Structure 1
Amino acid sequence: MKALLVASILSLVGSCATSKYSTKIETLNNNVKISDSTTVVTYANTITSEELSNHLFKYASKEFNGRKTGELGQKKAAEFLKNYYISQEIISPIKDSVYYQTIPKSYFYDETINASENVLAYIKGNEKPEEVVIISAHYDHLGVKDSLIYYGADDDGSGTVALMEIAQAFKLAKDKGYGPKRSVLFLHLTAEEIGLEGSRFYTENPIFPLQETMANLNIDMIGRIDKIHEEKNQEKYIYLIGADRLSKELHILSEKTNKAFINLELDYKYNDLNDKNHYYSRSDHYNFAQYNIPVIFYFNGEHEDYHEPTDTPDKINYKVLELRARLVFATAWQLANRKNRLILNESL
């Protein structure tokens, strides 16, 4: 009888705890509001498949020779990005005009890798400029092997040009009086392909203090359709990884933003803690997550041209790339303009 009584008490305590947690999640859900709908649509629509295509056919071309970290092609790609931000009058957070965060040769585990650069530009927040939302994409790739150029149009040319267009959309909005409350950092990362070393360097040498970094939205391969969705004849999807791991509020905001503006299928297949592919730890967002910064990894899944010289810009689905880039923009907008910082799961 005593054992039965103890078991009953423990069951009751567990039930109460579950009930309280469910109530907290429901409160979170009710408190997440989508704002600025007309403005978001206006500037999201400036992200177009035509501009994405124009950028990517230039970016994933012979000129940049596969963009291998530390090599001439990567240096040319960095210069291309810097000149783009100058042309758009989007400044750098490093003394306004220094767009490169230099990573010395000595930093890399591989002693054959030369010094490299992260490329940074930003929009300064109007109300809370010290707080920042980071949108990232790596711009390096695999270079040349056996005389074959690895163009990396999807990996991660697609994320790179999406980030360029997202930055332009924020700048157009700011120029019309709709600047974000928080700062937004557009972070082009080098050395992802050799072990996430560009993002590791940034998090160890942050331009904005990590404690003031609200979230990281990381874009790595968003221009193609994987076999799973090809077989379902479904193009309008995106895999999201990590959104609920540190902040369920970020997950809720992400879903509500998508429903309000884009309505892609949000596929969480690879967000499973037991995912055998381990995608959560395989792109640059992971280094931010290591510092308890909420993250979302946007990903289209692998395809037959992944890490092959056949990953070329003619194979990109630009209309789908447009939708996915608009989703990231809309999500970043909500984060940058919401009243409060995200609630972390550890605080629930």
Structure 2
Amino acid sequence: MKKFLIPIFLAVIVASCGTSKVTTNTQNKTTSFNSNSFTNSKAFEVAYQTIKLEDLKKNLYVIAADDMEGRDTGSKGQKKAGEYMVNYYKTLGVSFPKTLGSYYQKVPANYMKQRGGGNLPDSENILAFIEGSEKPEEIIVISAHYDHVGTQNGVVYNGADDDGSGTVAVMEIAKAFQSAKKAGNGPKRSILFLHVTGEEHGLFGSEYYSDNPVFPLANTVVDLNIDMIGRDDPENRGKNYVYVIGSEMLSSELKVINEAANKNTVNMELNYKYDDPNDTQRLYYRSDHYNFAKNNIPVAFYFDGIHEDYHKPTDDVEKIDYAMLQKRTQLVFATAWEIANRKERIVVDKK
């Protein structure tokens, strides 16, 4: 994550299609919840259960490995991580946007240089896409940056939490939606799984996408952005929580949907500390969601806080709380599911 951090978004679920019970097992703890507000709730439950702690861990051990060399923007290591992600999507059967022609959206070096990117080389955003069954022109974006800060003085900064955690969460959410599609219950609206580059140097990848959107920004319903969801901060040590940032800045419905999704699933504490306009961290402006928000697209930013290993070489896979990573991933999926399947597009009624 950029030296400014960005929180997590809250939403609510409005459709009511029967009552069901979902049970998940996380580190030998069983969590049950009643879901009476998700469309096609049985389909939701089945897809929800595909979000596995073991799979998140498996992918993160690859994405944040030493041989990825800290995934600096445009580096050999970042490109290697990108190839792994693309192969993952191919294996799932999740393709790319047809108009793009591949999983890669080039982000030119000159574009980044003009915005303070120094001598960064060409890099790429990675886009995977599931087309909606009823409203394919309406796009739900689920985003995370897959770059980190590289190697410094011969030491690899692996960025397991920042933002390896968000990267693997997006991959796992894609798996859940694809499993539903294969079962005949694909999302009504389209889902764009957007892995952006250049976040650490200046939100360059998301800015490039917003300047050169593959789908019209007018058709983009929401951006659910995930940037660091695998740890806790000193203020919330050991708590069952997540920061959600910006969820009520532009839409009166998004926070409601997210909160309902949370209540009906993982039931975490949703912390809105960084929504305070007087907060000195100004996290609302410091992660990739902001390049959607500035274009009047509702956003929610999911974040675990600034911990002692932030932007240090000690941000390693062994320190990730995989049970919390799973829960937070499930929350984003539940929120995205409702927004993708509800009858009406969420409103944009705030400035």
TM normalised by structure 1 equals 0.88
Preserved contact between residue 125 and residue 180 of structure 1 (Cα < 8 Å): yes
Quick one: which of 178, 195, 198 aligns to 1:191? 198
Quick one: which of 192, 202, 215 aligns to 1:208? 215
Listed one character per residue, the Cα deviations across residues 149-180 of structure 1 (whole Å, up to 9, x for unaligned) are 00000000000001100000000000000011
The 1-side partners of 2:41 and 2:187 are apart by 14
Quick one: which of 229, 233, 255 aligns to 1:251? 255
- The Cα shift of 1:43 comes to 1.1
The 2-side partners of 1:125 and 1:256 are apart by 23
Quick one: which of 39, 43, 46 aligns to 1:39? 43
TM normalised by structure 2 equals 0.88
Q: CA RMSD in A?
A: 1.6
Q: Which residue of 2 is the match for residue 274 of structure 1?
A: 278
5+ residue gaps, structure 2, are 1-10, 17-36
Of all paired residues, the percent bearing the same amino acid is: 51
Q: Please say if 1:302 is aligned against 2:309.
A: no
User: Any residues of structure 2 matched to 1:79-118 within 5 Å, and which?
Assistant: 79-95=83-99, 98-109=102-113, 110-118=117-125
Q: Which residue of 1 is the match for residue 156 of structure 2?
A: 149
Listed one character per residue, the Cα deviations across residues 71-106 of structure 1 (whole Å, up to 9, x for unaligned) are 111111111111111111100004575000001111
Listed one character per residue, the Cα deviations across residues 209-244 of structure 1 (whole Å, up to 9, x for unaligned) are 0000000000000000111111xx41x110000000
Structure 1 letter corresponding to 2:333 = F
- The Cα shift of 1:260 comes to 1.1
SS at match of 2:200: coil
Structure 2 letter corresponding to 1:271 = D
Q: Which residue of 2 is the match for residue 321 of structure 1?
A: 325
The 1-side partners of 2:344 and 2:216 are apart by 18
Higher RCO by CA contacts (8 Å cutoff, separation 6 or greater): 2
The 1-side partners of 2:210 and 2:56 are apart by 29
Preserved contact between residue 135 and residue 217 of structure 1 (Cα < 8 Å): yes
SS at match of 1:332: helix
Structure 1 residue ranges, 4+ long, deviating more than 3 angstroms after superposition = 28-33, 94-97
Give the direction of change, closer, same or farther, for the CA distance of 1:164–1:31 in structure 2 (3 Å limit).
closer
Q: Please say if 1:55 is aligned against 2:59.
A: yes
The 2-side partners of 1:63 and 1:29 are apart by 40
Preserved contact between residue 32 and residue 253 of structure 1 (Cα < 8 Å): no
SS at match of 1:284: coil
User: Any residues of structure 2 matched to 1:255-266 within 5 Å, and which?
Assistant: 255-266=259-270
SS at match of 1:345: coil
The 2-side partners of 1:172 and 1:96 are apart by 24
Structure 2 letter corresponding to 1:318 = Y
